[in-house]
């Protein structure tokens, strides 16, 4: 990652951490931008003595949060999530997202859905006019009966590719596979999301619609907020 890109992500992440207040339950996203927010929350716990509880969206984030000194809680033990902070792979003008580049989309979507406020942190390269032109849509699927599920997804007008890692099918934290689906641009994300969800064996898709409250776009110096 270039140093400019890293500075943009850092500025977005650190800004998001300013919104965390004492006593909050905070959803902690996954990825290189979310990492900056988690680290800054950890600094604030140490410097200001604020007390918060975090709900991580992946095993990777759980480790990072522990290292940062953030107390963790299970979603089922928390009656609400005050604020969730997460990255995204693409954001359009209507704050619709593609997520799942890191493979954590299922838990990320559950946390987003259960949050009072959902804050997205990105660098400027993630802002797009039309979703899915450059970034293939991640879709989490059951590993069993893969071909049948893949064929059903293909019928929606994309070329699905099973994500691999070190020569093997990539496994999510939930033990599932990811199909990266190239739609060459998505005209109607709402409709596509519904159609994907209606395919048996599709466990979640990376379209996050009507969820985002705030987008923070990190700049080389400072940030821009879309509220
Ligand atoms: C993980 C995600 C990430 O938020 C997304 O991939 C963005 O990652 P990064 O901040 O590293 O660019 O959806 O499933």
Q: What is the pLDDT of residue 79?
A: 81
Give the CATH number of domain 137-205: 3.30.70.260
pLDDT in tens, 17-68: 999 999 999 999 999 999 999 999 999 999 999 999 999 999 999 999 999 9
Q: Which residues of the chain have pLDDT under 70?
A: none
Class of the CATH domain delimited by 3-128+210-226: alpha beta
- DSSP string of 48-72? H----EEEESSHHHHHHHHHTT-EE
Cα(169)–Cα(130) distance, integer angstroms: 29
Cα(175)–Cα(69) distance, integer angstroms: 27
Residue 45 per-residue DSSP state: H
- The alpha carbon of 73 and the centre of ligand 1 are apart by a number of angstroms equal to 22
Crossing angle for the helix pair 32-48 and 3-17, to the nearest 10 degrees: 50
108 included as an active-site residue? yes
* Atom of ligand 1 minimally distant from the CA of 35: 10
From 108, 140, 150, 204, the catalytic residue: 108
- The alpha carbon of 120 and the centre of ligand 1 are apart by a number of angstroms equal to 10
pTM beyond 0.75, yes or no: yes
Protein residue closest via CA to atom 10 of ligand 1? 33
**What are the residue boundaries of the structural domains of the chain, listed by start?**
3-128+210-226, 137-205
Tokens in use for 82?
């005050």
């Amino acid at each position: 990652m270039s140093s400019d890109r890293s500075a943009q992500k850092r500025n977005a992440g650190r800004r998001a951490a300013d919104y965390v207040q004492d006593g909050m339950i905070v959803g902690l996203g996954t990825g290189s931008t979310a990492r900056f927010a988690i680290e800054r929350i950890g600094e604030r716990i140490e410097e200001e003595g604020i007390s918060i509880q975090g709900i991580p969206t992946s095993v990777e984030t759980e480790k990072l949060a522990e290292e940062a000194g953030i107390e963790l809680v299970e979603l089922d033990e928390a009656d609400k999530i005050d604020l969730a902070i997460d990255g995204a792979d693409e954001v359009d003008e209507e704050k619709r997202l593609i997520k799942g580049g890191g493979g954590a989309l299922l838990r990320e979507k559950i946390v987003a859905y259960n949050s009072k406020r959902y804050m997205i942190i990105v660098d400027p390269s993630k802002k797009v006019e039309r979703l899915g032109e450059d970034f293939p849509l991640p879709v989490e699927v059951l590993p069993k009966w893969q071909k049948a599920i893949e064929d059903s997804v293909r019928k929606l007008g994309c070329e699905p590719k099973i994500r691999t890692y070190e020569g093997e099918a990539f496994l999510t934290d939930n033990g599932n596979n990811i199909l990266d689906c190239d739609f060459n641009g998505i005209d109607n994300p709402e409709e596509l999301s519904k159609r994907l969800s209606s395919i048996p064996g599709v466990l979640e898709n990376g379209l996050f619609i009507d969820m985002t409250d705030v987008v923070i776009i990190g700049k080389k110096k400072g940030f821009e907020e879309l509220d």
